[in-house]
Chains A and B, each alone.
Chain A
Amino acid sequence: MSATWAVFRRELKGYFNTPLAYIFIVIFLFLTGIFAFYMGSFFLRGQADLKPFFNFHPWLYLFLVPAIAMRLWAEERKSGSIELLLTLPLSVWSAVVGKFLAAWVFIGIALSLTFPMWLTVSYLGQPDHGVIIASYLGSMLMAGGYLAIGACISAATKNQVIAFVISVVVCFLFTVSGAPIVLDFFAVWAPQALLDAVASFSFLTHFNAIQNGVIDLRDLIYFISLILFWLFANLIIVDLKKAN
């Protein structure tokens, strides 16, 4: 536990040692703002809620989260520090979880800095705060899903660009499998069960459910088991490939 904590603290501090953290946060806030106000017609809708803001999170995360995740293991492998890390007395699982949590908390910090949006709708009207809290929670869980995928793929290569591109593709599949464009394709010929199965793999399906203010246990289990699955795959890849 103390080893996980040590890795977590080192990683989280590491973000702020370089301009990476600040650039990421600024771009994240800028893009969430652009999406919400221009593309989401935040004002024109005339409704006091944050739907236009949260609606774009999956698409934003699709690129920004792999950018955070790509360096998690690829950089260690490239610089050789993985040899140092994995010959310290800690389990690979501690390293995997410590790194994941640090990146997740970092994304959480960026997300929490969007609080002026919340203040704005509160000032303009009477939003349903429960729905907003649920949406933030859903957004966080979804970011964790993207991050676990990206971390696992980062462990498989020492090239950060390759890690980024493959992560985006995999994350894209996990996103669009719930979008109408894919579901319509299946809807024509596939049985409803298959349609549901495909849709149930999508971040969108579960995120939209949470975004409506209903925190269903199934959605929580989906995200948590997805995160654990990819972290476990991450563990196995690191363990098998550590010295290559």
Chain B
Amino acid sequence: MDWMIEVEGLVKTFGHLTAVNGVSFNVPKGEVLGFLGPNGAGKSTTMKMITGFMTPTAGSVRVAGYDVDDQPIAAKARIGYLPEGAPAYPDMTPISFLNFVADVRGLDTATRRRRLDYVIANVHLEAVLEQPIETLSKGFKRRVGLAQAILHDPPVLILDEPTDGLDPNQKHEVRSLIADMAKEKAIIISTHILEEVDAVCTRAMIIAEGGIVADGTPAELERQSPFHNAVLIDCQDDGVAEALFALANVSQVEEIQGGRYRAYPKHGETIVAEVADLVKQRNWSTSRLSVESPRLDDVFRKITGVGTGTDRSENRGENPEGAA
């Protein structure tokens, strides 16, 4: 397979502190890799090393075949990078800033015009092109940063929290933009917003304490949720918990509140059919029978050790950004 990003044994220490501890992974073209992890887990540090801003203590990074340490200019020419916090030159206007980036990247006049039109239209910067960047809102600053990252149509995109500070509509637009570009590029994004992973990533990686603790497609990770295939049932009849527990594939039953039970499957089996049969057989009156939809939040909290995962609120969906 043609890897666009090859990371091998990456280590970064600051004095006694190990920020990144032996991270290795590869990203092919067409993949959108989501970095998840608590603050200070090493996501940004890893990105800074991939983009050549930080020199690794050990390990190597190759981007589009170029070693970032040995051939930094060739590697950097193939990367579009949105650093954490989307820094820019505050006294410049977005248009002069983008032109500066185009100058450094050596875009010729025709390419520059075409790409400027494209990014300005797709990132929606028309209204603020002539305003100093320091006067822009957080959302616009982020979009200016995103615009400079994709300006040269790079084969590799590294985006550190690309939707931070955007409102829900803008988040949606940025995600669509990333999804549109995904086929042609290898993309790494870091995020705290786990629904974003479902929305744009083809692969998710959970990083904690400098190492990779989970790696797979979002669906694979969701399967690790304690709620995977769990069944929720509302039933006021007596003996529900005991009857559910007696089912062959049920490992555990939990009464959440009066008359609401959650049955956990053994080994991730599908148990909803069994439960439904049981309800029919006993002639219970149920107002609700549903399969839990596992969310990455639960997996994230289970793996990174924040909370046990079983205390999640019943009103899921009201707080889609989760407790990352």
Check if A84 is an interface residue, CB within 8 A of chain B: yes
Which residues from 1 to 40 on chain A have a C-beta closer than 8 Å to any C-beta of chain B?
A: 2-3, 5-7, 9-10, 13-14, 17-18
Q: Assess whether A83 is in contact with B48, with CB atoms less than 8 Å apart.
A: yes
Instruction: Give the distance in Å from the alpha carbon of A243 to the alpha carbon of B92 in the complex.
Output: 23
Give the interface segment out of B77-85, B173-181, B260-268, B274-282.
B77-85
Q: Cβ of B73: which chain A residues have Cβ within 8 Å of it?
A: 89-91
Which residues from 7 to 61 on chain B have a C-beta closer than 8 Å to any C-beta of chain A?
A: 48, 51-55
Q: Assess whether B104 is in contact with A6, with CB atoms less than 8 Å apart.
A: yes
Q: Cβ of B118: which chain A residues have Cβ within 8 Å of it?
A: none
Q: Assess whether A17 is in contact with B92, with CB atoms less than 8 Å apart.
A: yes
Instruction: Give the distance in Å from the alpha carbon of A242 to the alpha carbon of B48 in the complex.
Output: 11
Instruction: Give the distance in Å from the alpha carbon of A13 to the alpha carbon of B93 in the complex.
Output: 12
Check if B113 is an interface residue, CB within 8 A of chain A: no
Q: Which B-chain residue is minimally distant from A4 (CB atoms)?
A: B104
Check if A122 is an interface residue, CB within 8 A of chain B: no
Q: Which B-chain residue is minimally distant from A9 (CB atoms)?
A: B103
Check if A88 is an interface residue, CB within 8 A of chain B: yes
Q: Cβ of B79: which chain A residues have Cβ within 8 Å of it?
A: 87
Q: Cβ of B90: which chain A residues have Cβ within 8 Å of it?
A: 79
Check if B87 is an interface residue, CB within 8 A of chain A: yes
Q: Assess whether A87 is in contact with B104, with CB atoms less than 8 Å apart.
A: no
Q: Assess whether B104 is in contact with A89, with CB atoms less than 8 Å apart.
A: yes
A21 → chain B, closest Cβ, in Å? 11
Q: Cβ of A17: which chain B residues have Cβ within 8 Å of it?
A: 91-92, 132
Q: Assess whether A87 is in contact with B51, with CB atoms less than 8 Å apart.
A: yes
Q: Cβ of A14: which chain B residues have Cβ within 8 Å of it?
A: 89, 91-92
Q: Assess whether B91 is in contact with A18, with CB atoms less than 8 Å apart.
A: yes
In the complex where A79-B87, A243-B48 touch, is A88 in contact with B54 (Cβ < 8 A)?
Answer: no
Check if A80 is an interface residue, CB within 8 A of chain B: yes
Q: Assess whether A80 is in contact with B83, with CB atoms less than 8 Å apart.
A: yes
Interface size range of chain A in the complex: 20 to 34
What total of chain B residues lie within 8 Å of the partner, measured CB to CB? Answer: 30
Q: Cβ of B83: which chain A residues have Cβ within 8 Å of it?
A: 80, 83-84, 87
Instruction: Give the distance in Å from the alpha carbon of A80 to the alpha carbon of B133 in the complex.
Output: 14
B157 → chain A, closest Cβ, in Å? 12
Check if A86 is an interface residue, CB within 8 A of chain B: yes
Q: Cβ of B55: which chain A residues have Cβ within 8 Å of it?
A: 243
Instruction: Give the distance in Å from the alpha carbon of A94 to the alpha carbon of B304 in the complex.
Output: 43
Check if A112 is an interface residue, CB within 8 A of chain B: no
Q: Cβ of B53: which chain A residues have Cβ within 8 Å of it?
A: 83, 86-87, 242-243
Q: Assess whether B52 is in contact with A83, with CB atoms less than 8 Å apart.
A: no
Q: Assess whether A84 is in contact with B88, with CB atoms less than 8 Å apart.
A: yes
Q: Cβ of B81: which chain A residues have Cβ within 8 Å of it?
A: 84, 87
> Please, what's the 1-or-0 string for A121-157, where 1 marks a CB less than 8 Å from any CB in chain B?
0000000000000000000000000000000000000
Q: Cβ of A243: which chain B residues have Cβ within 8 Å of it?
A: 48, 53-55
Check if B96 is an interface residue, CB within 8 A of chain A: yes
Instruction: Give the distance in Å from the alpha carbon of A84 to the alpha carbon of B149 in the complex.
Output: 10
Q: Which B-chain residue is minimally distant from A6 (CB atoms)?
A: B103
Q: Name 23 interchain pairs, CB-CB below 8 A, sorted by A.
A: A2-B104, A2-B106, A5-B103, A6-B104, A9-B103, A10-B89, A10-B92, A10-B100, A14-B92, A18-B91, A79-B87, A79-B89, A80-B83, A80-B85, A83-B53, A83-B87, A84-B83, A84-B88, A87-B52, A87-B53, A87-B76, A88-B104, A243-B55
- Given A10-B96, A87-B81, A243-B53, 8 further pairs, Cβ under 8 A: A10-B89, A10-B92, A79-B89, A83-B83, A89-B76, A89-B106, A91-B72, A243-B55
Chain A positions near chain B (C-beta within 8 angstroms): 2-3, 5-7, 9-10, 13-14, 17-18, 79-81, 83-84, 86-91, 242-243
The 3 tightest CB contacts between A and B, nearest first, are: A6-B103, A80-B87, A89-B77
